[in-house]
Amino acid sequence: MPDIAEINDLAIANIAKFKGRTLGAGDKVIGVSKASAGGTFTNYLFEDFNLLSEGYNSSYVPTNWSMALTNVIFGTTNPDRYWEPESGTTPSGTTGPYRAHGGSNTSGVFTTYSNTGYKYMYTEVSGQYNKDFLLRTSELDFSNALSNNTLKLTFWFHMGSASNFDEFGALMVGTSNSSTSAADGTIGTGFTAYAGTQTSTGMSIEYWDDDSDNGSSTSTGISISGRQQTGYHNSGYTTTASYWRKATVDLNSVAGESSCYIWFFARSGSGYRGDICIDTVSITGEE
Amino acid sequence: MTCNTCGKDMIEGYWACTETDYRITDLDGNLKIKIEEHDIPSDDEEIGEKTSFHYCECGKYNN
């Protein structure tokens, strides 16, 4: 939108709205507004992990993503473990989803593809208790994104286990302009020191918190902590208790930034029934 | 419950974690499908755990 100085220098005849018209004595221009503010939605990121191979190695990430163990969570703290691409169930019998998320932005149902089909990313916590996992997106350019609260990160998560156990740690999201550090810095909100089983800062996450599978009930916080779904892969695919749930992060604070990275930080809990899983990660916003 | 792949009835068994791998067994503990090997410490609480599960003799278990 032009500023007042530009308006002052603009001949009235060259403003499209007034072109061909003549102001008469006493006529006043009482307002100037941009014809259309934003309105163009842009997909900055979409990742369903489906093209990844399964395995435990830092290279099992989408192109230009990273989970190097030399990356920094906060201060000088590095992660302990890699996230892993997985299809079907996670190996442990009483945690993890039935399959990958189905890809819909409105439902947490499972994909209909076979056990060797679609993928998701998860933290294998068997034998790996109270460990840190850090996953980073590719570099994102939000320089044309409007600061009108339309820039959103959406992802689907599964943190389910048998109902009589809660051995989960926490899942958090951070932003930074460094490709090697998720520490709180100059843009958005990254991570700082631990506070219990999670870091003490991070982006605010709004997430579905019940089995309705329609977002009618949500919670908001800097982490998704503890067991969420009471269903897990043995529960099958017909119960919403084991469905994936949706999480949304408002990225308005990084709109206008030309270099931004999104970080997914997970910390395992005290037991093996605590696999933390994410799928169908997307970022959209208005330009 | 029938198998989505072959249409036969699913069989009741266990999803089990042994010292070397995750596996599906029948109700007598006989190996039916090996899921994958692991390197979990032998004294971990998960070793020896098992939970009820249904599988198909065609080899499918996640349908």
What is the extent of the structural domain holding A255?
Answer: 39-287
Task: Using CA coordinates, name the residue in chain A closest to B14.
Answer: A93
pLDDT score for A26:
61
Res. A281: pLDDT tops 60:
yes
Q: What CATH number does the domain containing A164 carry?
A: 2.60.120.200
Cβ–Cβ gap B22/A92 under 8 Å: yes
pLDDT score for A238:
80
The closest alpha carbon to B31, from B14, B48, B46, belongs to B14
Query: Lowest mean pLDDT: which of A161-165, A193-197, A241-245, B29-33?
Result: A161-165
Q: Can you tell me the distance from the alpha carbon of A268 to that of B59, in angstroms, rounded to the nearest whole number?
A: 32
Domain membership of residue A23 (yes or no) is no
pLDDT score for A93:
85
Question: Position A205: which residue type?
Answer: I
Domain membership of residue A64 (yes or no) is yes
Cβ–Cβ gap A93/B39 under 8 Å: no
**For chain B, which residues score pLDDT lower than 50?**
63
Determine the Cα angle at B40 with ends B38 and B46, to 5°. Answer: 105
Domain membership of residue B33 (yes or no) is yes
Structure tokens, A4:
């007042």
> Mean of the pLDDT values across residues A44-48?
97
Of A91, A99, A234, the CB nearest to B53: A234
Domain membership of residue B5 (yes or no) is no
Q: What is the helix (H) or strand (E) element at residue B22, kind and residue range?
A: strand B21-26
What is the extent of the structural domain holding B23?
Answer: 11-55
Task: Using CA coordinates, name the residue in chain B closest to A116.
Answer: B62
Task: Using CA coordinates, name the residue in chain B closest to A97.
Answer: B62
Query: pLDDT of A58-90, one tens digit each?
Result: 999 999 999 999 999 999 999 999 999 998 889
Domain membership of residue B20 (yes or no) is yes
Domain membership of residue A26 (yes or no) is no
What's the total number of domains in chain B?
Answer: 1
How far off is chain B from A272, nearest CA to CA, in Å? 7
B19 touches A at CB < 8 Å = no
Res. A20: pLDDT tops 80:
no
Q: What is the mean pLDDT of chain A?
A: 88
What's the total number of domains in chain A?
Answer: 1
Domain membership of residue B38 (yes or no) is yes
pLDDT score for A235:
77
3-state secondary structure (DSSP) of residue B16: strand
Domain membership of residue A116 (yes or no) is yes
How far off is chain B from A187, nearest CA to CA, in Å? 40
Domain membership of residue A183 (yes or no) is yes
| Reported ipTM | 0.84
